[in-house]
């Protein structure tokens, strides 16, 4: 199956994260039409009800908008996408820093480690 899910949280939440990250990364482009619930469900290998629920939740954030009778579109509000991007960066960094602090690394040590890693 195409999309990977873990056992811990509800699948619709994991779908949320995956779709939002696709929007942030630009895999799904601003203003573009999103595939139908059924096609997305088949692609992800999940129940259409679950996909429907996930999409409804994302609509709540404003990242997706529904045009009646014409499916869902990715928002054209680039600023909003930017905000989600920023939030993603902050959350990922905080998660990384949390792990490093648990190993008692100071900020300077962490920075020197990062600068030594080839990216």
Partner 1 sequence: MDKILECRGLNKAYNGFPALNNINLSVAKGRIVGLLGPNGSGKTTLIKILTGLLTPNTGEILIDGKQIGPETKSIVSYLPDHNFLAPWRTVDGMVKYFADFYTDFDMSRADTMLDNLGIDRKAKIKTLSKGTQEKVALILIMSRRAKLYLLDEPIAGVDPATRDYILRTILSNYDSDSTIIISTHLISDVEQVLSDVVMINTGNLVVADTVDNLREKTGKSVDEYFREVFRC
Least distance to partner 1, CB of residue 43, Å: 9
35 touches partner 1 by CB under 8 A: no
Measured CA to CA, the distance from residue 94 to residue 89 in angstroms comes to 8
Report 40-59 residues binding partner 1 (CB under 8 A). 41-42, 44-50, 53
Contact between 33 and 73 under an 8 Å Cβ cutoff? The reply is yes
* Phi and psi at residue 10, to the nearest 5°: -55, 145
**Other C-beta atoms lying within 10 Å of the C-beta of residue 62:** 13
Interface residue with partner 1 among 9, 36, 93, 106 (CB under 8 A) is 9
Rank residues 48 and 73 by Cβ distance to partner 1 and give the closer one.
Answer: 48
- DSSP letter at 33 equals B
If one asks whether residue 10 binds partner 1 (CB under 8 A), the answer comes out as yes
Give the binding range for partner 1 (CB under 8 A) out of 39-47, 57-65, 67-75, 98-106: 39-47
**28 lines the binding site for partner 1 (CB under 8 A):** no
Measured from the Cβ of residue 15, the count of other Cβ atoms closer than 10 Å reads 23
């Amino acid at each position: 199956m195409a999309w990977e899910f873990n056992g811990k949280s509800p699948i619709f939440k994991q779908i949320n994260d995956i779709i939002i990250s696709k929007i942030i990364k630009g895999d799904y482009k601003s203003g573009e039409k999103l595939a139908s619930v059924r096609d997305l469900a088949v692609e992800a290998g999940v129940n259409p009800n679950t996909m429907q629920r996930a999409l409804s939740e994302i609509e709540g954030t404003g990242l997706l908008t529904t045009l009646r009778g014409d499916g869902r579109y990715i928002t054209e509000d680039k600023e909003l996408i930017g905000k989600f991007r920023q939030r993603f960066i902050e959350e990922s960094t905080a998660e990384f820093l949390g792990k490093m602090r648990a190993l008692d690394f100071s900020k300077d040590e962490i920075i020197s480690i990062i600068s030594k890693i080839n990216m």
